[in-house]
Chains A and B, each alone.
Chain A
Amino acid sequence: MSSSFRVIARSTGSADYIALLGNIDASAEMQLQKLPGMVDNELVHFDFNQAGRINSMGIALLLRCFKQIREEKKAKIVLRELNPTNTLLFKMTGVFMLASHEK
């Protein structure tokens, strides 16, 4: 798995599907800033299946991104395919207060 961060987004009639690939850290800033603008629906699925390490800077960027999606797009965010480390990380840093976890 490549460690550089990438985003793959697609939209159906009722939901947006966004896959985050690679490590999420300071280098992901530009792409995560643009993400809220790509949301068209009131439901957004984030797929972390191919996401790697997420450090504290990555957490800050995700929090900012999710907050913007909720406030500006009034959309519900669902996170899926999180590994156990990232699940705990999201739990302890409050990410799950902005997005629900599909197990």
Chain B
Amino acid sequence: MKAAADTHLMLALFNNGTDADAFRPLLNGLPGLLSIENPPDKERFAEKMVSLRLNPALVILSSRLYPESRPELVGELKSIFPGAEILLVTLAIDPLPPLEQLAVDRIRHLLVTPSDDELEGIFSLQEAILRLLVRTPWKLQDCVRPGSRVHELPLISSSQKEALIASLEEAISGDSPEMELLRQRAALLADEMVENALYGAPQGDDGRKLYFKGEDRAIDADEKISFRFAFDGETLAMEIVDGWGTLAPEMVVDFLARNQAGMEAEVDETGGRGLFIIWRFMDHLHVNIRPGMQTVLGGHLKAVSTLDCESPRGFSISTDYQSA
């Protein structure tokens, strides 16, 4: 299909009726949504779409359909609708979809949503859908209650890392075990995010890293490295911005998949272990890359979020999304 995608049309594909029923309360009320259960094979599906003149801007896929039941589906969808964004949605009660196939298919958006009709789950799913339709990046302020203070800490030297982490820990007040755990997680995440910006992002023209991890270094003003966070008493949102824009979008899910599968304790610090840790400790990871110009990496976590290796975690990787 070569015609421009219809920005008012979304397609949602489910494994079967039970699957569609599970998502119904979450998608209810979304305008321009067409749901299909157990989609036919590529040729019949393409034929049907052409005959109905359907060319959606977004295809929502249930993780009960892809990748395990229909691993070939995304490849087919991309050839039928080359201009469409693809959003894979999984219910929080379901296992994390195997990431290897997602990496192969360059899936950039995975959303984990509660399985009930709780307002928060509906809101977050529908907001993510609308954001994809209009291609606007995630904003840190959207994850915390309105009016929450946003702290911004520009970095001019690697020696600021510990002070930055201390001010983050200080902002998470409370003596409960829950808050202590949130402080521990926040400190680890901030550490990884700052290290990524300081030592991962700066690369020469040949892609080689310019600095070694742990090396003391000054940060040039052109690097525009800045850490931001906001905490509303329940949810912590954090992001780091760098002016390098060297993170390759297609590598992000590769890194996550490799580390998720590679529990066999690879010794070397290569292959995005830091990024994997950030993803696993966040409730949702957001990355927006403007190649050669800027990388924004962030996300949020709740004090009550489960701390385990099995719960699915979401991610959104976008390229050149511009703030509205």
Contact = CB atoms under 8 A, between A and B. Distances in A.
Q: Is the interface of A mostly helix, strand, loop or mixed?
A: helix
Contacts of A67: 265, 267
A85 B192 CA distance: 14
A89 interface: yes
Contact of B192 (A26, A56, A97): A56
B324 interface: no
B265 A27 contact: no
Contacts of A57: 195, 213-214, 269, 274
Interface in B258-316: 259, 262-269, 273-274, 276-277, 280-281, 307-309
Contact of A26 (B213, B266, B267, B268): B213
B188 interface: yes
Contacts of A95: 265
Contacts of B184: 53, 83-85
Contacts of B307: 84-85, 88
B269 A85 contact: no
Given A29-B214, A55-B195, A97 B188 contact: no
Nearest to B274: A56
Interface string B242-272: 0000000000000000010011111111000
Please indicate which of the listed interface residues B165, B212, B263, B265 has the most CB atoms of chain A within 10 Å of its own CB.
B265
Contacts of A59: 269, 273, 277
Interface string A24-47: 011101000000000000000000
A27 B273 CA distance: 18
A88 B308 contact: yes
B224 interface: no
A72 to B, nearest CB: 14
Contact of B188 (A60, A85, A98): A85
A94 B187 contact: no
B162 interface: yes
Please indicate which of the listed interface residues A67, A89, A97 has the most CB atoms of chain B within 10 Å of its own CB.
A89
Given A55-B192, A88-B308, 11 more contacts: A26-B213, A53-B188, A57-B213, A57-B274, A60-B267, A60-B269, A85-B181, A85-B307, A88-B309, A94-B262, A97-B265
22 contacts: A53-B187, A54-B188, A55-B192, A55-B277, A56-B192, A56-B277, A60-B268, A63-B265, A67-B267, A84-B307, A85-B184, A85-B185, A88-B280, A88-B307, A88-B308, A88-B309, A89-B277, A92-B263, A92-B277, A92-B280, A92-B309, A93-B265
Interface of A: 3, 25-27, 29, 53-57, 59-60, 63-64, 67, 83-85, 88-89, 91-95, 97-98
Interchain residue pairs A-B with the least CB separation, the first 10? A26-B214, A94-B265, A60-B269, A56-B274, A85-B184, A56-B273, A94-B263, A26-B213, A55-B191, A63-B267
